Chains A and B, each alone.
Chain A
Amino acid sequence: MSENSRDTFNLTIALPKGKLFDPAKTLLEKCGFSYPGLSDEARTLIFEDKERGVNYIICRPTDIPTYVEHGAADLGIVGKDSILEAGKNLYELVDLKFGYCRFAAAAPREVLAADGTFQWRQGLRIATKFPTVAKEYVRKKGLQAEIIKLHGNIELAPRVGLADLIVDIVSSGRTLKENDLVALEFLGEATARLVVNRASYRLKSREINKLVADIKRVLETEGGECS
């Protein structure tokens, strides 16, 4: 192990496309990691900041745990929802506090009893983008259910009779309302996290620790609770 290799600032960071991208980019900028043109809407998915020796990979949020677990990226910023679903071997270092959402089980209003309760029973069909989370949920409830994996627009499933209820992430609750779905129970909360590959965590500890310390400082000065 040469001491020199430690001195080259050499990190690959995976960033999620979509709603977490902008807050993630802003946070990194505050920590001194800014790169002109870094965008999740550009044609390119890799940005190389040669000056600082930092590579950015832009990918789907659900793929970030995979990139980081395999070490294709040293670090990633991703929602806890994707981490839970992926079940990968990652080090979860910092709660970044943005991208708050909740897992909810929701059913169409029309199937609820007059007092608003839902008749839980065996053999329910549950549509979800998060089969792992949904399975764990029904297991804890002591139910057997058929989990139907969909890739998007879960709210459609109960309306066309594909499923009795859905398990999905809810941030404002507007989608549920628009589709006349009622949240029955909340399964847990999720925010964006900084995840790290287990080997990088050891081999690039100095760079990573510095970034983590910077992120924590930014979060603290912004009044967020730091874990």
Chain B
Amino acid sequence: MSRDNFHIPPGMRDWLPGEAYRKRELVNRLLAAISLWGYEEINTPLMEYYQVLLPGENLCGPDHLYKLTDRDGRILALRSEMTTPIARVISSKLPDQYPWRLMYGGEVFRYEEIQTGKQREFCQVGVELIGEEGPEADSEVLAIAIEALQAAGLDDFTISLGHTGVLKSLLENFTADEAQLNEVRNLLLEKDFVGLGNCLLEAGMQKEKAEMLLRLLTRQFSARELEQLPVDCRPEQSQVQSQVQGQVQAQGKQEPEQLLAEWLPELADVFADLRRTLAYLKLYGYDRYIQVDLSTLRSQEYYTGMVFEIYTPGIGYTIGGGGRYDELLRHFGKDYAATGFALGVERILLSLAQDKNQTAAQTQTPLVLVAGTDPGRVVQKARELRMVGQRVLMQLEKLTPLEAEARAQAKGAVLDWCGDGEDDAR
């Protein structure tokens, strides 16, 4: 066999013993935590028709799908996320008995530039809550995401909460020029706040308004700060905010929210929506994980309400994210509100690997090597140990106790020696 056959395609990876165990164990833990909320697992094919998956892709720019053709010449694609396939299943195969609470864990494929923590094949665990509207459902999926991460052993993370209503309102009130709208959307998605500022000014927005908008978008509120900010956005502030915004106020500028709310009336709805979601999260005590950041956006275009991304120290990327997508089901002829999230299993593994306590906790149960002079006794002993959940290696060949000990050591196992007639003399 030629050495060329040793290669695997870029962005794919092999999971070697140990790694593969930790990955599956993590997926199981996440799913177990989610299932406690009454969510049921669903599975869809790795491969679908290309058109079916398109709603999950960006509208502008090339898609990131792996494509192939079947023998009839139809274009197929590997799923790049799970939400769109699940929306298809809901619309076509499940009777109209909503709400559905569904969870999944599986591999998805995205043709993207490869970098650390960003492979082309990766595993997602997530939930979809379909057929329920509003902050009640949104707070439920947020709480599940938090509990799943906690169950995985992660506690130091922050959820950045935003709302697509901010961008929508901005775009609707700003210009009707399609090219400019796309540019604003892309700049905000890329978080190029300098470019965004320039673009808004070039498009004729007043400098003051543009600055206010940028200030709002580049500012983060804790749950408490958002709560204390009245819907009509009077310039009352919590202490923390005053600290952060101190310099701005010292220059006698008005609170951005107040003016913006007059200019973009929809913002009040956005704030109200987020605030209700946070009020529910507070019931769990989970509002401490939340940071409101109105520039949070997801690359999928199907999101229609709150959106969020999850960050943890030491990992430069999101470890998960999600949001409300009330329109996606329309692509499949149904009108259901929906909300959900996906967690990136590989990235959570990366994060856990940085935590020594976690890595220790995630090793498998110890391995036992059973050997002896009588194969019948060895088989019997090994069976007994397996019945009580031990992982057992068997050695049926005739070995001396010394040889057996050496093999056990080589495999990192504890030797269980079945001697002659007597019970195991370890």
Question: Which residues of chain A are within 8 angstroms of B97 by Cβ–Cβ distance?
Answer: none
Q: How far is the CA of A205 from the CA of B193 in the complex (A)?
A: 15
B311 CB-CB contact with A under 8 Å: yes
Query: B244 to A213, Cβ gap below 8 A?
Result: yes
Please report the number of residue pairs spanning A and B whose Cβ atoms sit closer than 8 angstroms: 89
Contact of B316 among A94, A197, A210 (CB under 8 A): A197
B416 CB-CB contact with A under 8 Å: no
Binds A, one of B167-175, B214-222, B328-336: B214-222
Q: How far is the CB of B21 from chain A (nearest CB, A)?
A: 27
Q: How far is the CB of B320 from chain A (nearest CB, A)?
A: 12
* Chain B residue at minimum C-beta to C-beta distance from A10: B313
Query: B316 to A199, Cβ gap below 8 A?
Result: yes
A91 CB-CB contact with B under 8 Å: yes
Q: A92-B194, A94-B193, A202-B158 provided; 13 other pairs, C-beta below 8 A?
A: A1-B158, A92-B193, A94-B194, A197-B316, A198-B317, A200-B316, A202-B220, A202-B309, A205-B220, A205-B293, A216-B247, A226-B211, A227-B198
Query: B291 to A227, Cβ gap below 8 A?
Result: no
**Would you mind naming 9 contact pairs between A and B with Cβ atoms under 8 Å apart?**
A1-B157, A70-B115, A71-B316, A72-B316, A92-B192, A94-B194, A198-B316, A205-B293, A209-B219
Count of residues in A whose CB is under 8 Å from the partner chain = 34
Query: A213 to B291, Cβ gap below 8 A?
Result: no
B270-326 at interface with A (beta carbon < 8 Å): 288-289, 291, 293, 309, 311-318
Query: B291 to A202, Cβ gap below 8 A?
Result: yes
* Interface residue range, chain B: 35 or more
**Contact string, B230-274, partner A, CB cutoff 8 A, digits 1/0?**
000000000000001111100000000000000000000000000
Q: How far is the CB of A74 from chain B (nearest CB, A)?
A: 9
A90 CB-CB contact with B under 8 Å: yes
A51-107 at interface with B (beta carbon < 8 Å): 69-72, 80, 89-95
Query: A202 to B160, Cβ gap below 8 A?
Result: yes
B195 CB-CB contact with A under 8 Å: yes
Q: Which residues of A contact B (CB under 8 A)?
A: 1-2, 5, 69-72, 80, 89-95, 193, 197-203, 205-206, 209-210, 212-214, 216-217, 226-227
Q: How far is the CA of A91 from the CA of B192 in the complex (A)?
A: 6
Query: A199 to B193, Cβ gap below 8 A?
Result: no
Q: How far is the CA of A72 from the CA of B291 in the complex (A)?
A: 23
Question: Which residues of chain B are within 8 angstroms of A69 by Cβ–Cβ distance?
Answer: 115, 316
- Check A199/B318 contact, CB under 8 A, given A89-B190, A193-B194, A227-B197: yes
Question: Which residues of chain A are within 8 angstroms of B309 by Cβ–Cβ distance?
Answer: 202
B2 CB-CB contact with A under 8 Å: no
Query: A203 to B220, Cβ gap below 8 A?
Result: no
Contact of A93 among B211, B218, B248, B288 (CB under 8 A): B218
Contact of A205 among B115, B247, B291 (CB under 8 A): B291
B155 CB-CB contact with A under 8 Å: yes
Q: How far is the CB of A59 from chain B (nearest CB, A)?
A: 16
Question: Which residues of chain B are within 8 angstroms of A206 by Cβ–Cβ distance?
Answer: 244
B181-216 at interface with A (beta carbon < 8 Å): 190-195, 197-198, 211, 214
- Check A199/B192 contact, CB under 8 A, given A1-B288, A2-B156, A209-B220: no
Question: Which residues of chain A are within 8 angstroms of B193 by Cβ–Cβ distance?
Answer: 91-94, 227
* Chain A residue at minimum C-beta to C-beta distance from B201: A227
Question: Which residues of chain B are within 8 angstroms of A201 by Cβ–Cβ distance?
Answer: 191
Query: A202 to B197, Cβ gap below 8 A?
Result: no
B116 CB-CB contact with A under 8 Å: yes
Question: Which residues of chain A are within 8 angstroms of B288 by Cβ–Cβ distance?
Answer: 1
Question: Which residues of chain A are within 8 angstroms of B247 by Cβ–Cβ distance?
Answer: 213-214, 216-217
Q: How far is the CB of A47 from chain B (nearest CB, A)?
A: 21
Question: Which residues of chain B are within 8 angstroms of A70 by Cβ–Cβ distance?
Answer: 115-116, 316
Query: A199 to B197, Cβ gap below 8 A?
Result: no
* Chain B residue at minimum C-beta to C-beta distance from A194: B194
Query: B311 to A227, Cβ gap below 8 A?
Result: no
Question: Which residues of chain A are within 8 angstroms of B211 by Cβ–Cβ distance?
Answer: 226
Q: How far is the CA of A90 from the CA of B318 in the complex (A)?
A: 13
Q: How far is the CA of A93 from the CA of B220 in the complex (A)?
A: 14
* Most interface-central of B194, B309, B314, B318 (chain A CB within 10 A): B194
